Amino acid sequence: MKAIILAAGYATRLYPYTENLPKALLPIAGKPIIEYSIQKIAVCRNIDKIYIVTNNRFFEQFTRWLAEYQEQLQATTIPEIEIINDRTNSNRERLGSIGDLWLAIESKELDDDLMVICSDKMFEFSLADFVDFFEDRRAAVNTCCDVGDIELLRNKHGCVVVDEQAMIVEFQEKPAHPKSTIESIAFYILPGSTIPLIKQYLSQDNNKDAPGFLAQWLAEKKSMYAFLFTEECYDIGNPDGYNRVNKIYNDKTRSGGT
């Protein structure tokens, strides 16, 4: 299995913090956001490589960060990490999350099972448990959580309806009328067998930006399951959100937590 971290956005809603720094390298409690995700990936069985897709504007910063990070790790075991440059230089040129996913698949000739995660979340659930859930089902899996209130999803987030086996029977991307209170989070494990379908999705001129549109389309073609978690998951989308999450993790650090 390969892990792909999508980190090629320009995070304009986070200005001024991200005018000269990619969101994934913003510090949370003194450590770049992306390092928290890598630490969680590192304990997953079967993941032997991590690809980080970024843009041309921030490619050199990611390259410098990776060299320093690997030096700091020394004897710590993590999968090999490779940074992919999508060659865009502005928000207007961006390929979109699904376009960047396909760039990684095509340029690296991937046919493996893929864990695909975004780079703007701080999360407490276990990616190792996520992998185990996938291995039990051998089908596409989407991380999800029950937010308990339809209004939290309306026109804002993906929403799924699941059956008793946690199979997704309906997927709504940012619906005006959510059919459940279960939110889809943009973390997926996709079997290698779905890669031709991703190519088909893109060939039909579908939305290349929000990964939820691909998940919605795939769920109509193949079985997809919801990995339901109850732990905290924070979105870092604007300065207030960033400052709030940074405070939460600084407080945890001071109190001896993660």
User: CATH number for the domain including 193?
Assistant: 3.90.550.10
**Whether residues 84 and 49 fall in one domain:** yes
The CA distances from residue 190 to 29, 122, 155, in Å, are 32, 21, 26
**Whether residues 11 and 78 fall in one domain:** yes
- Average pLDDT estimate for 77-102: 94
**Whether residues 110 and 141 fall in one domain:** no
Dihedral (Cα; 66, 67, 72, 76), 10-degree rounding: 70
**Whether residues 108 and 136 fall in one domain:** no
**Whether residues 108 and 168 fall in one domain:** no
52 domain residue, yes or no: yes
End-of-domain residue from the set 123, 138, 169: 123
164 domain residue, yes or no: yes
243 domain residue, yes or no: no
What is the domain range of residue 103? 1-123
241 domain residue, yes or no: no
256 domain residue, yes or no: no
- Average pLDDT estimate for 56-80: 89
CB proximity list for 244: less than 8 A, separation 6 or greater: 234
The pLDDT of residue 209: 86
Q: Residue 15's closest CA among 242, 228, 190?
A: 242
Question: Residues of 18-30 as b/e, b for ≥16 C-beta within 10 angstroms?
Answer: beebbbbbbebbe
**Whether residues 105 and 159 fall in one domain:** no
End-of-domain residue from the set 123, 150, 179: 123
- Average pLDDT estimate for 69-83: 84
Distance, in Å, from the CA atom of 142 to the CA atom of 158, rounded to the nearest integer, reads 11
**Whether residues 49 and 16 fall in one domain:** yes
Distance, in Å, from the CA atom of 116 to the CA atom of 14, rounded to the nearest integer, reads 23
The pLDDT of residue 93: 93
- Among 4-18, 71-85, 163-177, where is mean pLDDT lowest? 71-85
Number of structural domains the chain divides into: 2
**Whether residues 195 and 131 fall in one domain:** yes
**Whether residues 95 and 161 fall in one domain:** no
Q: Which two tokens stand for residue 98?
A: 């699904």
The pLDDT of residue 258: 57
Query: Is 16 exposed, middle or buried (CB count within 10 Å of its CB: 0-12, 13-18, 19+)?
Result: exposed
The pLDDT of residue 72: 85
Say if residue 75's pLDDT is above 60: no
Say if residue 175's pLDDT is above 80: yes
**Whether residues 155 and 99 fall in one domain:** no
For the stretch 104-156, pLDDT in tens is: 999 999 999 999 999 989 999 999 999 999 999 999 999 999 999 999 999 99
- Average pLDDT estimate for 71-93: 88
258 domain residue, yes or no: no
End-of-domain residue from the set 123, 138, 173: 123
The pLDDT of residue 253: 83
59 domain residue, yes or no: yes
**Whether residues 72 and 94 fall in one domain:** yes
**Whether residues 145 and 218 fall in one domain:** yes
Q: Residue 166's closest CA among 125, 242, 90, 227?
A: 227
